Structure formats: structure tokens, C-alpha cells
A and B are shown apart, each in its own frame.
Chain A
Amino acid sequence: MADIEKGEAKETGQRAVLKITDMDPKFKYEISKIHGAEKVMLCFQCGTCTADCPIARFSDFYRPRKLVRMTQLGLKNRLLSNDVIWLCSTCFTCIDHCPQDVGVANIVRALRNLSVKEGDMPVVFKELASNILKTGYAYMIPELRLKKREEQGLPTLPKANLESVEKLFNITGFSKTLEKGRT
């Protein structure tokens, strides 16, 4: 995760040798309990997702088919610590094209969520989360821009209910995750 901390996820290759001790046979069940990723076992590795993936076209490492196979094999540690899972642009082409209705992008999301829970997250998401907590918006909208709205005849931007946002962060356990990332 060191590279991710710098805000740049580098693409890294995989070791070619696969050891049976690296596999966690329960991992696929863990993933299939996550909302949207229930059908992970249905993937028969046709490769349509990778063939149609816009990111895979320009990346030497991002291969959605491979991520699903690795999930089925239970290569948990290798998956969760690999920066490559952060490259999905969530265009959902893989979801629409999958003949088995596997929901590949949802599986990638499940992998990311787990990776965050067990490790850390790319720095950009910490910024987005912190902005939402502070303002309700994903970006810090500069004061100048808010003033300019008036000049442009636009209505004042509504103020978010920050108390509610914070409560939602707390109750979903996300505050704790953020807290952990800081230590």
C-alpha cells in the first residue's frame, strides 16, 4: 500500500508460482455474502469482461477475469494488497456483458471494501471522506466560488446537515475505519 499512500496506484505484476498455502478456500464464501457479489462462483472464465474492459485496454495488469479467478481460488492476501483492484472505473460494461450475470464490478467493489477494512485505502478516498464529513460535499468548494454564484444569479448552495452525515459515518462503522487509517 506504500504506493497508494502517495496517491498513485502503480500497476504491479503477479508472481507466477502459486502455492496451495496461499489459498483461502473460504474466501469465495466471504465475498459471496457481500451485497452484489453473490454470484462470484458462477464465473466460468470466458473473459468477456476483460475483452470489453476500457481500463484493460490501456493497462498491462488490470484484468477483471483474473480478479474473479483469484477470488474463486481464495488468493485473499494477494488480492487485497494489490493496487490493481483500485483501477476499475466502474463503467459497468462488464456487468452488462457478462453471460453469467456475475456482476464483476460489484466483486471488485467488494474486494476494495474488504481491503479497506483489513488494511488501508488510497489517499484520495481519505480526502473525499474528510470533505464529505466537513461540508457534505465530496470536494471543498472554495468560498470564492460560493460568492460567485450570487454574481451569476444562482441560488445559494444548500448547506448539508453535517450532524446527520457524521451519524451515518459512525453507525456504518466507517468512522472507525477512517480513524484506524490515521494511526
Chain B
Amino acid sequence: MPELKYLLFMGCVVPYRISSYEISTRKVFDKLGVELVEMPEYNCCGLPLDPVNHDVMLTLAARNLCLAEQQNLNIMALCNGCFGTLNHVNKELKEDRKLKEKVNGYLKEIGMEFKGTITVKHLIHVLAEDIGFEKIKDNVQKPLTQLRVAQHTGCHVVRPGKIVGFNDPENPTTLKNLIKVTGAKCLDYMDETECCGAPIIGVNAEIPLQLAREKLDHVRAVGAQVLITVCPFCHMMYDLNQPRIERTFNEQFGIPILHYPQLLGLAMGFSPAELALEQLRVDASKILKPD
């Protein structure tokens, strides 16, 4: 019987085109003895519609929270955006009675009521706080000591700092520590906390591409062989869009972008195929060479 059990909130981007994140997460968590329960009937977290209608975002998020309350399980999100939205709405509804009444008024229409009995976590919170570094370390069989790695934590998993209350948003260290547990060397680089820009790519592509180009440039400048992300949106920006960035700015990067569970999985002894490394747009085989 596993001690740790979560409702897996996959969101939309992961099943849409970033299956490698899901596959590697399931492999790694299974080995670590964590049970991930499928979330029945979930819908989009609501974030994509916040810009056009705040109330529709609140109710879509609250509906997901109610589903988790019915299962009496805490949520683990894979996406920074889903985590940020569900966590923010959960905390606000728990603290703001008036807002809760308003949202429950909407939810009555679908026979639901927000009670405030669960918590929302992101994959890196579960790894660092619930599973713990000790246990992860015990499961590392092939330390990646030859690998030089940079990390991109992303925004919504740490910001707004007052609401998330996890890590210093100006210097988030959890992902760095999680990388160090794998034996890899985690390098600092310029503007680590800068946003990937993905949320506006549907409105204006130029700016996000420039942001992503700059990120890759800074990562390359310190000699990192790979960039680690924990959000499918950030990943899409740096991996799927990397060839486009290279074409647009006439540059060559060739920097593989791995989901953190893929990196951890390699250190735990899983094969690249088991972690779906071949699904990445930027070829990661060059970092897999034996020591």
C-alpha cells in the first residue's frame, strides 16, 4: 500500500502534445511508491479564459477542486499554469467568504459546493516536500555526475510569492536541489527567473520567441548541456519551438530540453525509451553517451 496518493491533474497541454512529461512522471512516481489516481471528469483548469472572463475561470477551477474534494484527495498538477490557478483559487475560496458564496452560487447550478478540504500541489512540491530528498537519493542508481544542467523553474509555480509561499520567487532553489540529487551539476545563468513568454504566443509570436532565444543563449553561455523544465508550456516554448527560434534568428542551439522526471528517471536507472526521450523535438541522444 503506497503511503502517498494524489489525484493527477494533467491539464490540457500534456495530453495534447507533451506526453513525454506524463510518461516519465508515471514511471518515476511509481518507482518512488507514490500512487497517482486518475481524475474523473476534470476540465481545463480555467487559466486560458481568465483574460476574457474572470468568473468563468473561477468556476472552472472550482469545479475541479470540488471533484478532488469528492475523492478526498489532494491534487498534484504537472503544469505550472494549472497549479497556479487551482492553488490560487483554492486558497482564495478558503479565505474569502464573500467570494466563496459567489462561486458556490454558480456551482449550485451543477449540483456542487466548494468546501475547502483539499490542497493543491505541483510535482516539484510533492517531490521535495512529501517524498523528500532522502528517499529520492536512495533511488538514484546511476548518478549523472558527468552532466552539466541548467534549470527553468517557470513563473506560476513560485509567483505571486505571497500566494504560493514556496521558494523565494527571485531565487527559486527547489528545482536546483532536485537536480543536484541526480548527481548532475546544476549551473547558474543570467536571468534564470525570466518568463518563457508562452502565454501570449497566440496573440503575438515575436516577443515570446525573443524571450526564448535569450534564455537559450544564456543557458548556452554557461556551458549547460541540457535545460530542465517542470511545465509543459515552458517546455513547448524551448523544445517544440527551438527549431523555429533557430530559423528566425539564424542561430544554432541544439539544446535538449528535458522534463525533470526524465532527468530523475535516467538517474534512477530507467532507459531513455522508458522515459520517452525520443519524443523530444530537440535530439537528446548526445547527452546519453556513457561516461
Contacts and interface: CB of A to CB of B under 8 A. Distances in A.
Interface of A: 4, 7-9, 11, 34-36, 54-55, 57-59, 86-93, 95-96, 109-110, 112-113, 116, 121-122, 124-125, 128-129, 132, 136-139, 141, 145, 148-149, 152, 154-155, 157-161, 163-165, 167-174, 177
Nearest to A128: B48
A168 B15 contact: no
Most buried by B among A116, A129, A139, A172: A172
Contact of A87 (B40, B99, B200): B200
Contacts of B199: 89-90
B211 A54 contact: yes
Nearest to B154: A91
Given A59-B207, A92-B156, A172-B56, A138 B48 contact: yes
B189 to A, nearest CB: 15
A121 B155 contact: no
Ordered nearest first, which 5 A-B pairs have the shortest CB separation?
A124-B202, A91-B195, A92-B159, A136-B43, A172-B55
B176 to A, nearest CB: 19
Contacts of B193: 93
B7 to A, nearest CB: 11
B50 interface: yes
A113 B169 contact: no
A84 B206 CA distance: 14
A164 B67 CA distance: 12
Contacts of B109: 167-168, 170-171
Given A92-B156, A95-B159, A161 B43 contact: yes
Given A90-B51, A109-B54, A116-B53, 14 more contacts: A54-B194, A54-B211, A95-B160, A96-B159, A96-B160, A96-B169, A121-B52, A139-B16, A152-B23, A157-B10, A163-B110, A168-B59, A172-B106, A173-B53
A154 B54 contact: no
Interface string B167-182: 0011000000000000
A118 B44 CA distance: 25
A108 B196 CA distance: 19
A52 B26 CA distance: 37
Nearest to B156: A92
B190 interface: no
B39 interface: yes
B254 interface: no
B208 interface: yes
Most buried by A among B112, B169, B202: B202
A164 B110 contact: yes
13 contacts: A4-B203, A54-B197, A54-B211, A55-B197, A91-B155, A96-B160, A110-B54, A137-B44, A141-B16, A161-B41, A168-B110, A170-B109, A174-B55
Nearest to A124: B202
Given A125-B48, A157-B15, A174 B53 contact: yes
Nearest to B105: A171
Interface residues of B, number: 58
Contacts of B19: 145, 148-149, 152, 154
A58 B210 contact: yes
A136 B10 CA distance: 13
A54 B204 contact: no
Contact of A168 (B42, B106, B155, B207): B106
Contact of A86 (B23, B50, B156, B203): B203
B287 interface: no
Given A128-B49, A141-B16, A55 B200 contact: yes
A139 to B, nearest CB: 4
Contacts of B200: 55, 86-89
B54 A136 contact: no
Contacts of A174: 49, 52-53, 55-56
Contacts of B110: 161, 163-164, 167-168
Contacts of A160: 41-43
A143 B52 CA distance: 28
B63 interface: yes
A87 B159 contact: no
Contacts of A59: 207
B101 interface: no
Contacts of B128: none
